[in-house]
Amino acid sequence: MRIGCPKEIKNHEYRVGLTPESARELARGGHEVWIQSGAGLGIDATDEEYEAAGARIVDGPDPIFAECEMVVKVKEPQADERKKLREGQILYTYLHLAPDREQTVDLVNAGVTAIAYETVTGPMGQLPLLKPMSQVAGRMSVQAGATALEKAHGGRGVLLGGVPGVMPGKVVVIGGGVVGFNAAQMAAGLGADVTILDRDPEVLERVGTHFESRAKTRFSNAANLHDAVCQADLVIGAVLIPGAAAPKLVTREMLSDMQTGAVLVDVAIDQGGCFETSKPTTHDNPTYVVDDIVHYCVANMPGAVARTSTYALNNVTLPHALQIADHGWKAAMRANPHLAEGLNVWDGKVTYKAVAEDLGYEYVPVEKALA
């Protein structure tokens, strides 16, 4: 198979879909690998390193979109990229379609076979291709929130860890999954006063056992959520419904009860955000203020630590890329039902139920695509 990897063009997105090491593995399998010149510079990977790995360097993205059977990326294709997609072409990347009608319309109209990293499952129902970026984003959320809390950035002027004689900052993490767990780890490590909210008693038991006295747990109902958020210096939104739009848990009305200069970090922004007042921001302009509350809603947080993120991502995406390249996407999905869960769009149809329901499309089961 001819596999192409273009340079990412989203604002301050420095990750790359394939590392030189991943390109080597695909080339060793007998596949052609085309890399856009400069695609790896954000992780300090030069064109020469890709060539040494057996890849072909091409100028610009056009040859990749025009001639490659599979396009491997990191972020969802931007509008200019979507115009280049071809019928039947395999697109293997993060998509986050549920809150993005415009992208979904373009992928449906293009007739591509779109496989979303974030909905590929594991044997226990987990999301292994989403997990490493959730780990990165969870850890980064505390760094970003701590910076936003500084007075010069519009925050309360609170140091999360406090100092002797001064209370630490209060961090509330909504959701005890991968993002929430990693956020709590970082916040507790800084010495903050950490509270984790979740609706699953088993999750609360697991994180409570892990953190012991370093973090508190509360069942997430409307009253507990409101109480915790209103006392917080930093709130981290870490909720996920696989493939679907995130629920709006913190309403605008609640902002008026929060402390002036408190910070909301919405890690769920890729799926539409879990705060009513969230809107996507960029690394160029990461924050904005609503009702005296600072919002940080960068949609590609892990792109800021591109080298760590790219290698963590390739560790989990490469095995599936090899399966697709070696056997074709249909045979690979028949053999691996977890990979089949990643199929979101095929032949002008939406094949992921949560996306179809959120955007009003007819749902076409994956089994029909594989028939």
- DSSP labels, 108-157: HHHT-EEEEGGG---TTS--TTTHHHHHHHHHHHHHHHHHHTSGGGTS--
Going by C-beta distance under 8 Å and a sequence separation of 6 or more, which residues neighbour residue 165? Answer: none
Q: Catalytic site residue 96? A: yes
Catalytic pick among 96, 198, 233, 358: 96
Range 183-188 contact pairs with CB under 8 angstroms and sequence separation of 24 or more: 183/138, 183/139, 183/141, 183/142, 183/236, 183/238, 183/267, 184/211, 184/215, 185/138, 185/139, 186/138, 186/139, 186/141, 186/142, 186/143, 187/142, 187/160, 187/215, 187/234, 187/236, 188/214, 188/215
Helix, strand, coil % over all residues of the chain, rounded to 5? 40, 20, 40
Of the candidates 112, 124, 171, 115, the one whose C-alpha atom is nearest the C-alpha of residue 143 is: 171
Q: Catalytic site residue 100? A: no
Catalytic pick among 266, 270, 295, 320: 270
What is the distance between the alpha carbons of residues 119 and 243, in angstroms, rounded to a whole number?
A: 6
- Give Rg (Cα) of the chain: 21
Query: Are the C-beta atoms of 136 and 307 separated by less than 8 Å?
Result: no
Residues marked active site are found at 96, 270
